[in-house]
Amino acid sequence: MPSSSSISSLGVGSGLDLSSLLDSLQSSEQTRLQPLQSRLSSFNTQLSAYGRLTSSVNNLQSAADKLNDASLFQSTQVSTSGDAFTASSSKEAVPGSYSVSVTQLAQAQSLVAPAVADSTAALGKGGTITITTGDNDPVDIEIGEDNASLEDVRDAINAAGTGVSASIINDGSDTPYRLALSSNAPGTDNQINISATNAAGGSGTQLSDVLGYDSAAGGGAMTETVAAQDAKLSVNGIDITRSSNTVEDAIQGVTLSLTGTTEADSPQSLTTTRDNDTIKGALTKFISAYNSYRSTADNLTAYNADANSGVLLGDSTARSVASRIRESLNTSVEGGDLSMLSDIGISLQTDGSLKVDDEKLDAALDNDPRGVARLFSGDLASDVEDDGVAGAVSSTIAAMTDDNGLLSAASDGVQRSIDSVNDRMDQMQDSIDSEIERYRQQFVQLDSLMSDLNSTQSYLTTQLSQLNSSSSE
């Protein structure tokens, strides 16, 4: 008779479709998870909604922070009337008009050495080169016997960090190689003084035959090909001399980059104005960020009788966020004629969005720029932080999104619910798996029993058949 150990799969011994029956039981048991799965889906949707709401208010906070920076309202822009110079301005610049003449550009000094026939031939046995630029300390450069060629001298000067650049020029003559030196900085304060002391025992062209120049005396072994000179200009009739073509301190907060000279008696005009475009750009981004937040909040809390309503419909957290942000927008700023957003043309519409009256805003920026700055970034002389509208919005959002804030607490609460449901689902799945395994064991026993009974039936049938045959004989 076959034993239970000979049954390899359910139903083989009994002939019953026990595998399909077990699958049906398992599917039926799995339906116990459906209520928890529905709850989990609902919690995940709610958590995603809080994430969208948090992201939208964070974007609003970033836009508010830009307006809460007082330096934004000190932004200036500069324009010029010609091409003798370009100009840029910083927040220290003040609006004004200037007449600028440029009579001379700064240039760096250049020297050239006497020519030699071979740039790789040694200059005696080398020696010591001493280079001084302007008021800097002298720099000594040792030139050894084995590295005393013109090319070696060039490389040694470039590696020494003296403020001088060296190169070799080939003029195409019978003795074509000439060492050229240039100061790295323009102006008479950066003139080059160079001398050379020869090493003993050298022959032929010596180091001092090639290198040497005294800028104060105006002579030496080398020849000055470009004289150092300072930039000369005048601003509103005041003469100014600088060693560089980049002039940073002639006009407050304005950097001039000199590129040419102006014609006699034809100065170039320079005008600095408040950069209202940058300010309006920041305001536009703030309004756009607020309206984007409102659109997100409205979609999440919307009621629709004919379709799915918003995920956060009736949610107290979403209502509180909206209330606090709206309250911060209505902050009243004392100390000037501009105390509310509506005073500069920014108003709340009936649909909850912000809208700007460009004409009213332009008038406020032109007539009372300090008042506009105070309205958003507060009184600079006050010790109170975030006392402007932008500061109030930013601090309100920060309080709601920090670790213990309203939105963070709501998200954390939903996450805990998700974790709890996941734990319960794991426990229930373990229970289902245990139940299905119990069914499986019972089916195995049933299969084995049926197999034994079928074998017994077959055996008895055979015996009875044999008895009947014997009786007949």
Domain definitions of the chain by residue range: 1-75+275-473, 76-106+230-274, 110-226
CB-based contacts of 25-33 (< 8 A; 24+ apart in sequence): 25/436, 25/439, 26/432, 26/436, 29/432, 29/435, 29/436, 30/432, 32/428, 32/432, 33/425, 33/428, 33/429, 33/432
Residues of the chain with pLDDT under 50: 1-8
Looking at residue 8, its pLDDT comes to 46
Nearest to 398, CA basis, from 154, 17, 68, 39 = 68
CB 325 within 8 A of CB 317: no
What tokens appear for 421 in the block?
A: 């449901």
**CATH class name, domain 110-226:** mainly beta
Confirm if 163 and 190 have CB atoms less than 8 A apart. yes
Q: Cα–Cα distance between 301 and 410 in angstroms, integer?
A: 15
The pLDDT value given to residue 382: 65
Which tokens go with 30?
A: 């799995």
- Residues 155-209 have pLDDT tens digits of 999 999 999 999 999 999 999 999 999 999 999 999 999 999 999 987 889 999 9
193: nearest Cα among 254, 111, 257:
111
What's the distance, Cα to Cα, between the start and end of the chain in Å?
30
- What number of other Cβ atoms are within 10 A of residue 143's Cβ? 26
pLDDT for the residue numbered 7 = 39
Residue type for 388, please? G
pLDDT at position 25, please? 77
The pLDDT value recorded for residue 454 is: 72
- Closest C-alpha to 67, from 361, 399, 402, 378: 378
H-helix segments, 302-387: 316-329, 358-367, 369-377
Determine the pLDDT at residue 309.
78
The confidence score (pLDDT) of residue 381 equals 63
Kind and range of the H or E element at 169?
Answer: strand 164-170
Element (H, E) at 258: strand 254-258
Neighbours of 185 (CB within 10 A): 17
State the Cα–Cα distance between residues 440 and 450, nearest whole angstrom: 15
Q: Can you tell me the distance from the alpha carbon of 212 to that of 196, in angstroms, rounded to the nearest whole number?
A: 6
DSSP state, 145?
Answer: G
Q: Where are the beta strands (DSSP E) in 304-417?
A: 346-348, 354-356
Whole-number Å distance between alpha carbons of 164 and 192? 8
